[in-house]
Structure 1
Amino acid sequence: MSIMRYLLIGAVLCTCAGSMPSLEDHHKLLLLSIDGVRWDQTDDMKGFRYIQENGVRAEYMIPAFPSHTSPCHMSIATGLHTESHGVVHNGYYDLKNNRTGQTGFHGALFISEWFDNGQEPIWITASSQGLKSGGYLYPGSNCTYKGRVPTRSILDAYPTIPTENDWRKRIDDVISWFNDDDFDFIALYLEGLDEISHEFGPNSKEVYHEKQVVDRFLQYMFKQVKLAGLEDDLNIIIVSDHGQLDVEVSYVDEKGINLTRYIDPNWITFVFSYGPLGLIEPVPEFKTRVYETLKSAHSHMDVYYKEDIPERYHYKNHERVPSIVVVAHPGYQMYDEHPGFEALGGDHGYDNRLEQMRAIYYSVGPSFKKGVRITEFESINVYPLMCYLLGLDPATNNGTLDILYSILKKDEEERKFDMKKTLTILAFTCFVLYTLL
């Protein structure tokens, strides 16, 4: 009886495995991240309407917490919550070794130890299993992970605000990597819309103008994909890392929260205020005093002991998160000292369940159904989808393929092949069982 059971289990597994793309027959995959595109900003853009008609659109995608660029990008790339992948902030700091030197977003991109925490992003999963993978300005893609790197990566040492021609060059380069160098996977990043939103606010006329630039880029990308003959062999997933909300610059004195105004510098060993997020490590004997002082200091921020951070943030279970975390309410920002506080027209990093923090998800290509609109889902579910599309064995992650499997199509030939394979396996199994009996 045990032999028959194993044979039947084996037949079922073989049948299921037959429907998954293999390393040999998968389509190529482009992951395009457009920083800071909010879920409700795409309806008037022709490029996104094209995808909606010819591919898949999600109502919105739920970003990681904090809804900052690097943590969100790593959750997309690894399928892990922030507390699991360890990129807990846009900036770099070393709390464990009491090194409190801090960087901004771009400075941290050059520090491999900030990103290399035992997790495995998609470009490493791909290159480790024999595929050619690349990162083009995508946060974390230029770093080394346990001695492993993607096949190729590009990161600007001295970033400037890109022009429309700069963006077009990026897609020209990516097309060349796919066609001339036979890459299997590339992660591409566009940053311009987020920067304009920070300066002027997400609902400004400047952002409206930048959206037209993004739209022209998308139309140019689809044109180049067609000219390169990649239409039938390239799946494209387009996401944003987070949304953005307005900050009323005229109320800087009220809405800019200076944490060091309320706590004595002698009570703390570390403080890092960045947008709506404040991280504080108190001197042990002053921990309660710091917490209680901040709790009563300002009505528009939430103060947590590390162990009391809400479970839904998936943030507290990592050694880089200090003993006290402060999260500002929508529209409010934090800073350490004034002057030096840079007032912004828009910001992100807030509660990732806020409507204004919602991100986008679109996909199109030979593996996706057409004209499909799905409900919201968490960004951690993109990684297992990408692994499936590339025929890869995924690393341990918090996501599941079940969430997005329904958006995949199987053409008639694939269905016939699967049915033929299933019948063949079942016939063989019956033959073996008959022989044994």
Structure 2
Amino acid sequence: MITTLNCDFKKANQLLVIGFDGFRWDYTHMYSTTTLWDVARDGVHAPLGLIPAFTTKTFPNFWTIATGLYEESHGIVDNSFFDPKYNKSFSIFNHDAQKQTIWWGGEPIWSTVKKQGKTSGVFFWPGSDAGDQALRPDFWRRYDERISFEERIETVLNWLQFDKIDLAMLYFNQPDNAAHKYGVFNRMVCDTVEKLDMLLNRLFTEMKRRELLSTTNILIVSDHGMTDINFYNGTPLIYLSDYIDIRNDVIDIPQAAAVAAILPKPDKVTKIYESLKDANPHLKVYYKEDIPERYHYKHNSRIMPIIAVADEGYLIQRLINNFKSNLLKYPTTRRTRIKIGQHGYDNNLLSMRPLFFALGPNLKRNYESESFETVNLYTLMCHLLDIKPSPNNGSLEVVKDMLENKFYL
């Protein structure tokens, strides 16, 4: 059992936000996660998870959590994208480019905190080492996956205990890595999820020892869920080169996976659309202006003129050779019988939903929250920190019922 004392309700409690990459909401039902269920009993959880932003990718969604903005509003529209204004490309694999201020729209929570005289420490949260240095967290680390999870926790707890920071944010790149490699329903993913749950147990135990648990609100969140790409029965791959002339009609395809972003030559937009719109029964194709409103994914120049969205379990590839080269990273015995994990799909899919658990003196006990969009987490964090939010797409009204009544004023 995790206990938090009934301390006086003051708006000075510290806030710890833990972000797990790719922690699907129902992993807690598939695998043993006793610590998370203790949190649910003593705090808040969303039984069916949360609704991520579209596209359901890592950088866009962790930035949505940090800013309270949809992807069309903050500009991180995928893990890789092209900006026609600056004639530059963004990629999660180009760390030098990521640091440039031009990419990161909106105001992240740590900047809001700093502007209002409070302090923060952020360990590896996507975007935390980018932008205006004056508005970065007071303490931050550039991403290095070699740093152990235990060291990350120790550092953040020291920030909370000794530096007395108001906001701490901590990112873990699992279970996303394991699920991408092995698929959702796999022993390796099970082992990873259960190790993360034990890690949380050690975190809470240490927080209690340091007398932090009773004065800290804790949010446990993720960016997206995960689904299987199954190669056992035929091919789930959709090759754009089967339907369009990429070499002669397309300038760039900055992203192709669950979603493909296509920049045709100016006089080839209609041709590309007509060639793709009925090309494959597992592919939905949109002109940018016709993208469904519920995606909140059309009002940004970084969104390409044509967007193709694959059905769950299917994967878009530019050329046939693209995916063949990727298969080489798997053991030979798996190349012909392979299952991998993927995300990025329609954010209405249950499989794309991330988990949500919360615990603390200002949060209700044993409270089950309805699923809500992750864009609302920013306003929740601001309220817990007693700071005024920057303009955002969320609303405190959506999440207020999880707050203790005398804390919601």
Structure 1 residue 407 and structure 2 residue 393: aligned? no
In the alignment, what sits opposite 2:387? 392
Q: TM-score, normalised by structure 1?
A: 0.83
The one-letter code sitting in structure 1 at the alignment partner of 2:20 is I
Cα deviation, residue 102, structure 1: 5.5
Matching residue within 258, 261, 265 for 1:276? 258
In the alignment, what sits opposite 2:203? 221
In the alignment, what sits opposite 2:321? 339
In the alignment, what sits opposite 2:281? 299
In the alignment, what sits opposite 1:62? 51
In the alignment, what sits opposite 1:255? 236
| Cα offsets for 1:21-63 (capped at 9, x unmatched) | 88xx410001111111111111431111110111001121000
Structure 1 residue 314 and structure 2 residue 296: aligned? yes
Change over 3 Å in CA distance of 1:76–1:305 after alignment to 2: same
Structure 1 residue 83 and structure 2 residue 72: aligned? yes
| Cα offsets for 1:199-226 (capped at 9, x unmatched) | 0001111111111111111101100110
In the alignment, what sits opposite 1:49? 37
Structure 1 residue 371 and structure 2 residue 366: aligned? yes
The one-letter code sitting in structure 2 at the alignment partner of 1:258 is Y
Structure 1 residues without counterparts, runs of 5 or longer: 1-20, 419-437
Please give the secondary structure, in 1, of the residue aligned with 2:321. coil
Q: Is the contact made by 1:328 and 1:334 (CA closer than 8 Å) also made in structure 2?
A: yes
- Tell me, in whole angstroms, the C-alpha distance in 2 between the residues paired with 1:145 and 1:260: 41
In the alignment, what sits opposite 2:107? 120
Cα deviation, residue 180, structure 1: 1.1
Structure 1 residue 37 and structure 2 residue 32: aligned? no
In the alignment, what sits opposite 1:233? 215
The one-letter code sitting in structure 2 at the alignment partner of 1:154 is R
Q: Is the contact made by 1:168 and 1:220 (CA closer than 8 Å) also made in structure 2?
A: no
Structure 2 residues without counterparts, runs of 5 or longer: 1-8, 328-338
Cα deviation, residue 272, structure 1: 2.2
Cα deviation, residue 193, structure 1: 0.6
| Cα offsets for 1:157-189 (capped at 9, x unmatched) | 5x35x7xxx112111110000111111101111
| Cα offsets for 1:374-400 (capped at 9, x unmatched) | 111111111111101111010001111
Write the mapping of 1:163-242 to structure 2, written as runs, cut at 5 A. Answer: 166-242=148-224
Q: Paired residues, what number?
A: 384
| Cα offsets for 1:45-83 (capped at 9, x unmatched) | 111111011100112100000000111111111111111
Please give the secondary structure, in 2, of the residue aligned with 1:191. strand
Cα deviation, residue 92, structure 1: 4.6
CA RMSD, Structure 1 to Structure 2 (Å): 2.1
Q: Is the contact made by 1:202 and 1:244 (CA closer than 8 Å) also made in structure 2?
A: yes
- Tell me, in whole angstroms, the C-alpha distance in 2 between the residues paired with 1:334 and 1:322: 16
- Tell me, in whole angstroms, the C-alpha distance in 2 between the residues paired with 1:306 and 1:287: 11
Cα deviation, residue 110, structure 1: 3.0
Cα deviation, residue 266, structure 1: 1.5
Q: TM-score, normalised by structure 2?
A: 0.89
Q: Is the contact made by 2:261 and 2:307 (CA closer than 8 Å) also made in structure 1?
A: yes
Which structure shows the bigger proportion of residues in helix conformation?
Answer: 1
Instruction: Report percent identity of matched pairs.
Output: 35
Cα deviation, residue 279, structure 1: 0.6
Matching residue within 136, 140, 148 for 2:123? 136
Bigger radius of gyration among the two: 1
- Tell me, in whole angstroms, the C-alpha distance in 2 between the residues paired with 1:97 and 1:114: 9
